[in-house]
Amino acid sequence: MNQTRKILSLFIVIVCLTVWPMLTRSQYDSSALLKSWNQPQKPFQIIGNIYYVGTTNLGCYLIKTNAGLILLDTALEESAPLVRANIEALGFKLKDIKIMLSSHAHFDHTAGHAAMKAATGAKVYALKEDTPILESGGQQGFHPIKPFYPPVKVDKQLRDGEVVRLGDVAMTALHTPGHTEGNTAWTMKVTENGKSYNVVFTASLSINPGVKMVNNPTWAGVAEAYAQSFAKLKALPCDVFLGPHTQFFSMADKLKRLGTQPNPFIDPPGLQAFVASNEKAYHEQIQRERKEALTK
């Protein structure tokens, strides 16, 4: 009996050490992918009053106004020291950050929010649809994605089309739901060499692994939400296209040409091409899901 109990205990310990971590690990945890996303990137002025302060892959943007700074996205929790150092390397002060925004409430864009808010005293603004996700550190929402992150209190909940003003800068929140409920494109005007340009900071438009477009059990209207978001983005005037992952707008390539005229970040077809490739993948997934349903 004693021997059986010993064997049973040993069995439980083995299960805990091997199977349980596999069950709780997300597709992202412990992957080389996150490390590659979090490589240091030298900060730089993109155009006018818009500065890049993110990592090689994870876009974080600092917008200078005459009444302080706006920070859009904070990347991973582990990115916090890199983002802070980038802001200071450009000669800005953390305490001048007054407002923090986000593209969408996934760990790779907002996990650094809580620490940055504590360090700066900035107010966090977000669309109301992403607020429960931010305030639960990623645990709420129709499709929670691990790793979860330190929850952050949203000071002001915004609605679609609402304008955020700080000093001489106005940024408009455009609700583009699908990837998350409150997925947000931010638009603003920027001036360089006496010319004004329309800037669009898109959010993510991909469909996360495991998310169904047909008969989604937790968000029945998700496919329709994506369709409306694609249409909204296609109708936007855009000269400068930026986003939460740098490959969306070929940052590495544009950065190589920075300093030449015209500014390589002025890329009017960029947003359209990005939306078109995501829309194509979306239609392909719907077709695939419909086919699979028929063969079942």
List residues near Zn ion by CB under 5 A: 106, 204
Closest CA to 183 of 117, 114, 101: 101
Q: How far is the CB of 31 from Zn ion (least distance, A)?
A: 15
Complex with Zn ion: residue 209 or 259, whichever CB lies closer? 209
Q: How far is the CB of 148 from Zn ion (least distance, A)?
A: 14
User: Tokens at residue 12, please?
Assistant: 């439980």
Q: How far is the CB of 40 from Zn ion (least distance, A)?
A: 22
Complex with Zn ion: residue 47 or 60, whichever CB lies closer? 60
Closest residue to Zn ion: CB criterion: 106
Complex with Zn ion: residue 64 or 106, whichever CB lies closer? 106
Q: Do the beta carbons of residue 101 and residue 109 sit within 8 Å? A: no
Q: How far is the CB of 170 from Zn ion (least distance, A)?
A: 26
Q: How far is the CB of 55 from Zn ion (least distance, A)?
A: 15
Would you say the C-alpha torsion 208, 38, 93, 135 has a positive or negative sign? positive
Q: How far is the CB of 268 from Zn ion (least distance, A)?
A: 25
Looking up tokens 């993510």 gives 204
φ and ψ of 200, to 5 deg? -125, 120
Query: Residue 135, Cβ neighbours under 10 Å: how many?
Result: 16
Q: Do the beta carbons of residue 119 and residue 79 sit within 8 Å? A: no
Hey, which residues does 63 pair with through a beta bridge? Answer: 50, 70
Closest CA to 270 of 278, 258, 259, 261: 278
Complex with Zn ion: residue 92 or 149, whichever CB lies closer? 149
Complex with Zn ion: residue 86 or 204, whichever CB lies closer? 204
Complex with Zn ion: residue 141 or 264, whichever CB lies closer? 141
Amino acid at the residue 10: L
Complex with Zn ion: residue 48 or 141, whichever CB lies closer? 141
Q: How far is the CB of 173 from Zn ion (least distance, A)?
A: 17
